[in-house]
Chains A and B, each alone.
Chain A
Amino acid sequence: MMLDCGLSMQSLLNFLPLSFVPSNKLMNLPNWMPSDTSDPDLEGELKENGDRVFVDSPPEFCPPLDKLIDFSQVDIILISNYLCMMALPFITEGTGFKGRVYATEPTLQIGRLLLEELVIYIEQCPKASFASQWKNFVHKCPYPLNEAFKPKSWKQIYNMNSVNASLSRIQMVGYNEKIDVYGALQVIPASSGYCLGSANWVISTEHEKIVYLSGSSTLTTHPRPMDHHALKNADVLIMTDLTQTPISNPDSMLGVLCVVVGLTLRGGGNVLIPCYPTGVVYDLFECLSGKMQELGVSNCPMFFISPVADMSLAYSNILAEWLSSVKQNKVYVPDEPFPHAMLVKSNKLKHFKHIYSEGFSTDFQEPCVVFCGHPSLRFGDVVQFIELWGNNPRNCIVFTEPDYDYIEALAPYQPLQIKVAHCAIDTSLNFTQANKLIRDLKPKTLVVPECYTQPPVSAPNLTELVISNHPDSTVIPYKWGEVINLPLKRKQGQVYIETNVAQRIMPIEVKPGISLSTITGVLNVKDNVHNIQDFSSENKINKLVKYEWGSLNITEFLQKLAQEGITDAKVESLGGNVVVVHLQDEDALIQLEDNSTHVVCNADEKLRTVLRNIVMQCLKKF
């Protein structure tokens, strides 16, 4: 079972931006070579700007490493939200993967938009050559390239065919839908409150429960609220995807954003907001349009530019069942759940696929607010807007997505005059919320990335920004590439007993409060479900086995011997609980001990049978 399928895109920051209009600035950056190297193959692969070195090549990504496991052995993949599936085509295509992928409907629909957008962004700016030699000289490069994580495993992006093939494997599920995994496990997605269709997963058998908690939010934004109840009392809680901005709070960041936008527009400048085509951007449209009205700059238009802008706006308004109750109730009127439908109708929000799309140049007016991708600033229309607005200090670029370090993102474009504001809005759980959640959920074992057990690198003094110790839970930290064993040992399974088998259960109380009964039946195993059925009538009797236990009562034994006509038994105690009964006429010796009987008898089969029967009659059975 694979939990999520995210793509590490930090590698992007080491590449030069892709521009579909050749940029003088970027094209004329000087080549860079390691000081003691003169490999002609490396010539032109690396460019220098300021103290940073960039790879001049189509950007590469760091997919989950395939050396650790064989993807063809993965039975199922659970996708938590649309941000955690960007590596899916790398895993499912061309690897022999035969399993199933589960995701909610919004995760599939919106995830498709993100994957398509990525492919379009990169394919629309083909590069003449792929740089590869630089990977042999990474150690000689300056920071941060020299610390790049496993650059030799980096891959080019997938194509649209792989996207379609990969997404066609996804099976859509609803919240609280019980998904049966080969009869062995049950998997249930529970709303995680983070984004449209985001889910946490409850993986359980009759006796064990593992909760996988991914991007979750307890804030009130547009998605359905987080479902805590389903996550309680797990044997193991795997917790990941906590906030990337532990120091700042999303509400105050939103406040700052509104002020910055207001000030910039009033000063005649433009606002550039690099963003994903979905998610928090819906809340930004709603919040900013209101704020702009208040500040008297509502005549400035908002532009939303993405190859999937129209799809994103349309989908968000048909997924009412996945929204917060306030938004959901709007469709009962019927109104569109998000106000951006109204903003589009009233021309306050205009959306285009690209800046070169028909109509954009006529509609474009300044000052304005532009939302466009990609947040890494390495491809997409944002590259053109930085070219256009970068040298005017009245403009402002506002970073709202938390995934990329904004200083690194801007590095290839420096020097820039445009103002820079950093208002990263990450609605995922912060450490206070996460610790409170752990106290509520009371997992027996808590599994977290090791970095959550130490204060953030950016703020080593803030020791409260960790997953603290919880008295009820054992914490197991994990690191990249590490194999950990979960303290979960399955001891019991479940079988179903049919009526007539159950009717034959005759409990014998062997000790106060403890009863035993044998059960024998035909076992029918289908899809890992065990059913015990009755035998067909003809051979029922001889299969009803009973067990004798305990010790013999010597008086009772002698009585029964007498009844069988054996009256010459001589009893001799050997100390302890060992008693020897000597049958002189029959020449038999019976040694009785705790829980065992030894018959030494050279007579015929008949006597042995008689003795056996008497011993068994004297014993307790179940």
Chain B
Amino acid sequence: MPEIKVTPLGAGQDVGRSCILLSMGGKNIMLDCGMHMGYNDERRFPDFSYISDGPLSPFIDCVIISHFHLDHCGALPYMSEMVGYTGPIYMTHPTKAIAPILLEDMRKVSVEKKGDQNFFTSQMIKDCMKKVIAVTLHQSVMVDNDIEIKAYYAGHVLGAAMFWIKVGSQSVVYTGDYNMTPDRHLGAAWIDKCRPDLLISESTYATTIRDSKRCREKDFLKKVHECVDRGGKVLIPVFALGRAQELCILLETYWERMNLKAPIYFALGLTEKANNYYKMFITWTNQKIRKTFVQRNMFDFKHIKAFDRQFIDNPGPMVVFATPGMLHAGLSLQIFKKWAPNENNMIIMPGFCVQGTVGHKILNGAKKVEFENRQVVEVKMSVEYMSFSAHADAKGIMQLIQHCEPRNVMLVHGEAAKMEFLKEKIQQEFNMKCYNPANGETSVISTPVKIPIDASLSLLKSEAKRFSALPPDPKRRRTLHGVLVMKDSNVCLMNVDDACKEAGISRHVIRFTSTVHLNDPGPSLTTAHKLHGLMRGEVAAMVGELLGRRDLGGVGACEGGR
């Protein structure tokens, strides 16, 4: 039986640094190429030496990037320009537009702020993006003669896609990160009943059935409103794209409805530009935004204004969105240092923070944060964590499995313990195999083969005709019998007579004749009638039996034998 081999180089029983190797039908495909935000050493990039010590081009046929988050595409320039890969890279149009900006942003933070050596350069990002081929949803793309890929809407961030990959008769769906419930600006993930041999699904929220999103939003707005009412300042560290837009829509409509006057600011630069991407790629957002964008583009915010560093010391309440999201550098950290000591202020962390970042520390309740220059900041402001992350929860993952009907499931991009739980559940509920390999561990999935062959229409039609002539019976099995003719390189299934004709041979017919003597006085015609009457019943039964066999084409010598 043919096999599909999957080896995670990242995202195997962990979150962060997605990078999965897929081998099937003699082709090797890399799914995502992410970096780990929590590390500063070589562990931040996937271990490409697993594949080869030299350039990767001879070993990888194509790279597929699911969306622009750096834990899914952050290692791409490193892989293509520094390790060496010249083959095609596939991603959707919005991902192609936004990924280089995030990569550049991260490069700046890493090189200029942290002083990292051996990091890729701006030019490398540009060179890498030249290798990218943008795909549209549902378009069937032939990577080469054997690999076919197709993108489906994943809803996780703008341009996020799930990919269906087919080589020969085998197929795999890789979900990337996805979201099964529509949110304020994105739609829900969707896939058709493509019945892949393997579904590789993320499982960030493998055990959670998330509470109603509306409640969390209400909670968030209430907290912001209270803080602003008491004259406090609200800091929301965000990544430029994704959650930021959703929270902006949320605050914008709330401000409008409640007629609030406190200013909302957006850190200049990246985020503002980011809104432009959302305007341009409005076809990737949800139904509601698409419908109303002509009258009012959801991403033209009335209440949200550009932020200037001088505003940090302004008196009075305000809400500020600033990058980066984990408070590890940049403007958000600068604002944090100023506002943290005042208990009237509040910080809302809307996303996951990796270990080692200031964000991670304060979320764990640190009351004092020490910086490199021995500066110590007291944290008196209230710290709130609020997850708006758009991942599928356990229910969503089960839904997706139901939608696409895979033969096997593999869980990646989640915590090991949670995966185990979900794995059990999937095996029980769907009675299918579920895998969750660790990084560097290879799962081998064997798949049944189906060999497509040509069949003559007359064979198929005569079978269909016979079958439909029979009284309907749901238990009746249909059978097909034919002769496979292999002539030169042509292979075709046909009925036996056509096959003989095609091969230029004749079937052998055996005939038996016996003479039976009867003694019946009277005219011979009467005898004939008598015989006819007697035989009618007998022969009918025999013919019936024969026809039954003929169904299978079981005529020939046996028929002659009777």
Contact = CB atoms under 8 A, between A and B. Distances in A.
A497 B454 CA distance: 10
B223 interface: no
A314 interface: yes
Contact of A543 (B484, B488, B515, B552): B552
Contact of A523 (B134, B479, B513): B479
A321 B513 CA distance: 78
A530 B514 CA distance: 45
Interface stretch (A76-84, A461-469, A507-515): A507-515
Contacts of B561: 608-609, 612
A415 interface: no
B257 interface: no
B380 interface: no
Given A513-B487, A516-B485, A602-B515, A492 B492 contact: yes
A622 interface: yes
B88 interface: no
A177 B139 contact: yes
Interface string B450-482: 111111110010011000000000000111111
B97 interface: yes
Contacts of A596: 508-511
B269 interface: no
A336 interface: yes
B210 interface: no
Given A516-B503, A523-B463, A496 B480 contact: no
B484 A505 contact: yes
A549 interface: yes
B139 A520 contact: no
A437 interface: no
A25 B485 CA distance: 80
B38 interface: no
A453 to B, nearest CB: 33
Contact of B456 (A188, A491, A510): A491
Interface in A453-498: 490-498
A317 interface: yes
Nearest to A502: B451
A175 B138 CA distance: 8
B93 interface: yes
B499 A530 contact: no
Contact of B93 (A321, A514, A597): A321
B450 A531 contact: yes
B282 interface: yes
Contacts of A492: 454-457, 492
Given A177-B140, A493-B457, A514-B487, A498 B510 contact: no
B273 A545 contact: no
B282 A318 contact: yes
A98 interface: no
Interface string A100-116: 00000100000000000
B484 A549 contact: no
B307 interface: no
Contacts of A321: 93, 134, 136, 283
Nearest to B516: A602
B509 A523 contact: no
A499 B448 contact: yes
Given A493-B460, A496-B451, A601-B513, A520 B486 contact: no
Interface in A300-327: 310-311, 314-315, 317-321
A598 B513 contact: yes
B355 interface: no
Contacts of A497: 450-453
A203 B534 CA distance: 59
B294 A310 contact: yes
Contact of A495 (B480, B513, B514): B480
B512 interface: yes
B239 to A, nearest CB: 17
B504 interface: yes
A491 to B, nearest CB: 6
B96 interface: yes
Contacts of A608: 512, 514, 561
B364 interface: no
Interface string B413-457: 000000000000000000000000000000000001111111111
A521 B478 CA distance: 9
A600 B513 CA distance: 5
A492 B457 CA distance: 5
Contacts of B504: 511, 514
B136 A174 contact: yes
A254 interface: no
B93 A494 contact: no
B54 interface: no
B510 to A, nearest CB: 5
A238 to B, nearest CB: 23
A595 interface: yes
A311 B455 CA distance: 51
Contact of A599 (B282, B452, B510, B556): B510
Contacts of B455: 492-495, 530
B138 A174 contact: yes
B513 A599 contact: yes
Scoring B137, B139, B281, B463 by chain A CB atoms within 10 A of each residue's CB, the highest score goes to B139
B456 to A, nearest CB: 6
A518 B482 contact: yes
B482 A317 contact: no
A546 to B, nearest CB: 8
A494 to B, nearest CB: 5
A177 B487 CA distance: 34
B500 interface: yes
Contacts of B556: 545, 547-548
B413 to A, nearest CB: 27
A163 to B, nearest CB: 16
A517 interface: yes
A321 B96 CA distance: 12
A176 B509 contact: no
Given A598-B513, A601-B512, A318 B507 contact: no
B482 A549 contact: no
Contacts of A601: 512-514
B509 A496 contact: no
Given A496-B450, A499-B1, A612-B561, A176 B508 contact: no
Contacts of B452: 206, 494-497
A356 interface: no
A509 B342 CA distance: 91
A560 B409 CA distance: 60
Contacts of A523: 463, 477-480
Contacts of A597: 508-511
A308 B503 CA distance: 66
Contact of B281 (A320, A522, A525, A602): A320
Given A320-B93, A492-B457, A495-B460, A519 B276 contact: no
A311 B454 contact: no
Interface string B531-562: 00000000000000000000011101100110
Contacts of A530: 455, 460, 480
Given A493-B457, A602-B514, A498 B482 contact: no
Nearest to B192: A180
Interface in A567-622: 594-602, 608-609, 612, 615-616, 619, 622
A130 B504 CA distance: 72
6 contacts: A494-B454, A497-B452, A499-B448, A522-B478, A550-B505, A598-B511
**Which 4 residue pairs of A and B lie closest in terms of their CB atoms, listed nearest first?**
A523-B480, A523-B478, A595-B506, A496-B450
Interface of A: 105, 173-178, 188, 206-207, 310-311, 314-315, 317-321, 328, 331-332, 334, 336-337, 490-499, 502, 505, 507, 510-511, 513-525, 530-532, 543, 545, 547-552, 594-602, 608-609, 612, 615-616, 619, 622
Given A499-B449, A545-B554, 12 more contacts: A177-B150, A334-B277, A493-B454, A495-B454, A517-B486, A545-B553, A596-B509, A598-B510, A600-B513, A601-B512, A601-B513, A608-B561
